[in-house]
């Protein structure tokens, strides 16, 4: 078997790879050199070993006890962006911000919303990320996935069942490594201006100067999670080093000393309070990974 050439880090702290800057250690973290290297690495992982893929760690809470198993870091690894027979080909490690700018430069319209998603394409595909009225899977033509045996599969978008901030995978233990996006021709200048306006709106409404993980809860039908949290009197509420943002109530910010447990307890308090005061059960958007107990 070919020797893998990526970086394998043992007992690696994950706080530096998540946007909240919290979380325990991964048993092992693998940073592949390229797609071929990732294939060879996965072929050598034991069948019983749990495997998790992360990108920018921007929709992710890693618990203080860390992650048993292998975490594969995709950010800054698979980042190709190119035109391919009229479609936009993009790899899973490319940031959504770079994708939006590339599409604008190529005068492809309808990808501007990606500028408002603080993650990689892989994460956007996995959760059908969206903002400002658009969603990832609205523009996907087909994807390439990889399974835990290192096998690649090209699948048409039609075999996936996208929902709100959710995607049903037709096969278990597969992860996205690339996609082709089908976008109409547009005007490069118009798209660039739209991205600029969108980023200005985001900067004005979101606490981008502090560690956070984006939206904590999904918006319930016909309403906004931020509004429900705010009218429940929770803006600025603090547990430990975690605070409900004063700027956007659906964001939790790390004010400097938060643990993952602080954040998880605050999420529970927000959900319980909104249910009690507004009668609405908020659904969590943030994914939680790992163990509560820190190993001695």
Contacts of 12 (CB under 8 A, 6+ apart): 25, 26, 28, 29, 71
CA-closest candidate to residue 131, choices 106, 150, 112: 112
If phi > 0 it is left, if psi is from -120 to 50 it is alpha, else beta; for residue 246 that is: alpha
User: Please, are residues 141 and 157 in contact by the beta-carbon 8 Å criterion?
Assistant: yes
Which structure tokens are listed for 16? 């530096």
Please identify which of the residues 191, 215, 232, 245 carries the catalytic annotation: 215
Find the helix packing angle between 96-105 and 188-205, rounded to 10°.
150
165 is catalytic: yes
Bridge partners (DSSP) of residue 284 are 217
Count the alpha carbons within 13 Å of 279 in the hemisphere toward its beta carbon. 0
Q: What are φ and ψ of residue 52, in 5° steps? A: -130, 140
134 is catalytic: no
Burial class (CB in 10 A: 0-12, 13-18, 19+), 149: exposed
DSSP string covering 206-249: S-TTS---S-SBPPPTTS-HHHHHHHTT-TT-EETTEEE-SS-T
215 is catalytic: yes
Which structure tokens are listed for 286? 């943030």
Q: Which sign, positive or negative, has the C-alpha torsion 271, 272, 278, 282?
A: positive
Please identify which of the residues 165, 212, 245, 264 carries the catalytic annotation: 165
Residues serving a catalytic function are 165, 215, 285
């Amino acid at each position: 078997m070919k020797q893998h050439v990526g970086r394998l880090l043992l007992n690696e702290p994950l706080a530096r790879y998540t946007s909240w800057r919290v979380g325990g250690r991964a048993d092992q973290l693998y940073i592949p050199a390229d797609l071929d290297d990732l294939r060879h690495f996965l072929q050598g992982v034991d069948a019983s070993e749990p495997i998790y893929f992360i990108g920018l760690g921007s929709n992710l809470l890693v618990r203080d006890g860390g992650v048993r198993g292998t975490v594969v870091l995709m950010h800054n690894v698979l980042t190709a962006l190119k035109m391919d027979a009229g479609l936009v080909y993009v790899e899973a490690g490319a940031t959504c911000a770079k994708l939006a700018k590339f599409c604008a430069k190529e005068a492809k319209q309808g990808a501007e919303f990606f500028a408002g998603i603080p993650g990689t394409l892989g994460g956007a595909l996995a959760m059908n990320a969206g903002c400002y009225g658009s969603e990832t899977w609205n523009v996907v033509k087909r994807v390439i996935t990889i399974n835990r045996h290192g096998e690649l599969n090209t699948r048409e978008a039609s075999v996936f069942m996208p929902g709100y901030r959710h995607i049903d995978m037709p096969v278990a233990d597969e992860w996205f490594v690339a996609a082709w996006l089908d976008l109409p021709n547009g005007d490069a200048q118009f798209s660039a201006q739209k991205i600029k306006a969108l980023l200005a709106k985001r900067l004005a409404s979101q606490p981008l100067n502090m560690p956070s993980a984006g939206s904590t809860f999904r918006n319930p039908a016909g309403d906004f999670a931020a509004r429900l949290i705010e009218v429940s009197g929770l803006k600025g509420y603090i547990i430990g080093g975690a605070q409900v943002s004063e700027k956007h109530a659906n964001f939790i910010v790390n004010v400097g000393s938060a643990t993952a447990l602080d954040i998880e307890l605050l999420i529970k308090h927000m959900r319980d309070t909104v249910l009690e005061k507004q009668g609405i059960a908020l659904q969590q958007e943030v994914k939680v990974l790992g163990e509560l107990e820190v190993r001695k």
